[in-house]
Amino acid sequence: MLFTPLKIKSVTIKNRIMMSPMCQYSADTDGLANNWHFVHYVTRAIGGVGLIMMEATAVESRGRITDNDLGLWNDEQIEPLKKIVDECKKYGATVGIQLAHAGRKSEVTDETPVAPSAMNWSNEYKLPHELTKDEIKDITIKFKDAAKRAFKAGFDIIEIHAAHGYLIHEFLSPLSNKRNDEYGGSVENRVRILKEVIKSVKEVWPDNKPIFVRVSADDYINGGINIDEIINILSHIKDTGVDIIDVSSGGLLNAKIDLYPGYQVKYSEKIKEELGFKTATVGLITKAEMAEQLLKDERADLIALGRELLRNPYWPLYAAHDLKEDIKWPKQYERGKFRV
C-alpha cells in the first residue's frame, strides 16, 4: 500500500509517503526562499516522495518562529516558491505548504510576539501581546491572503498549522488560553479561531484542492489537550471541508515525552475511528515494513517522515526495494536501480 496512489479531491498523490514540514531556518529576514530551499525540496522529489509538505511558512512577519523562516505575507515571496514547486512537480511530486503563525513562540528579533493570553512560553521568551478580537480577525485575513499567494505559486495542498504550541494551538489548549471572551473557555470557543481560519482560507482556495490541518493530539501535561479533548475539538471542524488531519503531538510546553517508533500512531488511529477523517501519521517511523503495516491496518492514510528524510532524501527508492515494489526511478539514476 505504501506505493498506492491516494486521490483527494482533484489531487492524486503518487504514493503514501509524505515529507513532514521541517523548518530549514535558511531564509534571509525577507522570508524569501533561496537556493538552499530549491535543492532541499527538489532532491526529495527526485528521491520519490509522493507529497512534499513545505515547512512552516509565516502569514505575517511577526508570525515567524525565527528571523530566518519562510514567509508568504507579500507578493515578492511568491516567485521563489513557484520555482521550487514547478521543479518538484517535474519529478511527480505533489507539493503542499504549511501556513503558520508562531504566536508566543516567535523569536523574531524586532517584533513583539502575540498570543491568546499574555503568557510567555518560558522565561527565555518575550512576553506576548494579548490579541484583541479585531487583531484575531486580521490574522484570519492574513491566512486567507497567504492562501491566495500559495495558489499563485502552484501549490496543490494547504496545511493549516494548529500544532506544536504555535498560535492556533495556543488558542486550542486551556493551558495557554485564559480568555474570557468568545475565543476562550469552552471547546467551542477555543476552536473558533481555527474554524475562522479554515473558512477564510476556503474563500480563496479552490474547492477541488485539499486542505490539511496539523494538530497536536496530546500536550502531555495535566489539564491540557489529550486524545479525548482533541477528538472533541476536531468534531467542531468536521463539517468545514478539511480533508486530512496531520496528527502530531507536544510543543505547547516543555513536557516529557516517551519517544519510540510510531509513538503518535495511536492518536491517528483513534481520530480515524472516532471521526472518520483521513489522517497522516508521523513520529520516528524509519522502516518501510512498519509504514506498510500501518497503512494495511488502516491506522493512517499517509506516512509522514521527518528526520528520516533529512538523513536520506532517497528513502522511497530504498523502501520500494525493501517491499519488492518496482517503481519508476529518475532516468538519470536508472543505472543505480537495485537489481532484483
pLDDT in tens, 306-324: 999 999 999 999 999 999 9
Average pLDDT over residues 102-124: 95
- Confidence at 102, pLDDT banded by 50, 70, 90: very high
Average pLDDT over residues 231-253: 97
Q: Write the CATH number for 173.
A: 3.20.20.70
State yes or no: pLDDT of 164 exceeds 80. yes
C-alpha cell at 145: 491572503
pLDDT of residue 5: 98
Q: Is residue 324 part of a domain?
A: yes
Q: Is residue 242 part of a domain?
A: yes
Q: Is residue 61 part of a domain?
A: yes
Percentage of the chain lying above the pLDDT 90 cut: 97
Overall number of domains in the chain? 1
Task: Check if the beta carbon of residue 46 is closer than 8 Å to that of residue 330.
Answer: yes
pLDDT in tens, 2-54: 999 999 999 999 999 999 999 999 999 999 999 999 999 999 999 999 999 99
Angstrom distance (rounded) from CA 53 to CA 98: 7
- Confidence at 339, pLDDT banded by 50, 70, 90: confident
- Confidence at 262, pLDDT banded by 50, 70, 90: very high
State yes or no: pLDDT of 340 exceeds 80. no
Which residue segment(s) compose the domain that 165 sits in? 6-336
pLDDT of residue 177: 98
pLDDT of residue 40: 98
C-alpha cell at 272: 480515524
Q: Is residue 1 part of a domain?
A: no
Mean pLDDT, rounded, of the chain: 97
State yes or no: pLDDT of 295 exceeds 90. yes
